[in-house]
Chains A and B, each alone.
Chain A
Amino acid sequence: AQKITQTQPGMFVQEKEAVTLDCTYDTSDPSYGLFWYKQPSSGEMIFLIYQGSYDQQNATEGRYSLNFQKARKSANLVISASQLGDSAMYFCAMFVGFKSSSNTGNQFYFGTGTSLTVIP
């Protein structure tokens, strides 16, 4: 069974500090993608970063980096130099059945989210 687990319901971080949001996943499919999304109070899900299961290097996108440890099945998001605008819900997601338009079993699996509050 596919599963995404985020164990931190809420996190606080001082402005300009770095913060790590935890995510572990479970799947038996060798091909999968891991995503992080940010959801501000407006509701829109904003794509932050992606890591493919076969990618050798950790993904980075500006202040966001994904600490991918395949053996541990973890995909933690690291936000460096936190800003007040980073306060939001953060969701880890996994897509299984990757890039296969003929595979009818693929979908996103989302974690329960982590609420991040950046303190001035």
Chain B
Amino acid sequence: KAGVTQTPRYLIKTRGQQVTLSCSPISGHRSVSWYQQTPGQGLQFLFEYFSETQRNKGNFPGRFSGRQFSNSRSEMNVSTLELGDSALYLCASSFIVGYGYTFGSGTRLTVV
């Protein structure tokens, strides 16, 4: 079966721009969560969606937002990009919350 698909794989944006990242979970998975990975801060939780509802949010500024559609696909948006937003953004999906998470390959965002 198809795994978690994240698009695009690589992205270069200019400071001040906004960006939208996409995550298609494994078929049947209703939980989608997002993580930011940087060399300095490691893996940090951004937010989690379950059945189109945001259930939990990490400690990130309001510039980071997300949503989940009825088909469980999720998008993450970052507005007014800063250099520090350069990171690998990972999406993970699960059939139920807290068990059997499968990660995608990530989107590597570079802000210049």
Contact = CB atoms under 8 A, between A and B. Distances in A.
Interface of A: 33, 35, 37, 42-47, 50, 91, 93, 95, 97-101, 103-113
A43 B108 contact: yes
A93 B94 CA distance: 15
Main secondary structure, interface of A, reads loop
Contact of A107 (B33, B42, B88, B105): B33
A105 B105 contact: no
Interface string B68-108: 00000000000000000000101010001111111111101
B97 A106 contact: yes
The residue among A42, A93, A100, A107 with the most chain B CB atoms within 10 A of its own CB is A107
B100 to A, nearest CB: 8
Among A50, A100, A101, A112, chain B packs the most CB atoms within 10 A around the CB of A101
Contacts of B58: 107
- Which of A37, A91, A95, A108 has the most chain B CB atoms closer than 10 A to its own CB? A108
13 contacts: A35-B101, A44-B105, A45-B103, A47-B103, A91-B43, A95-B98, A95-B99, A97-B97, A99-B99, A103-B97, A104-B55, A106-B56, A112-B42
A79 B2 CA distance: 27
B35 A108 contact: yes
A29 to B, nearest CB: 11
Contacts of B100: 47, 50
B98 A33 contact: yes
Nearest to A93: B43
A100 B56 contact: no
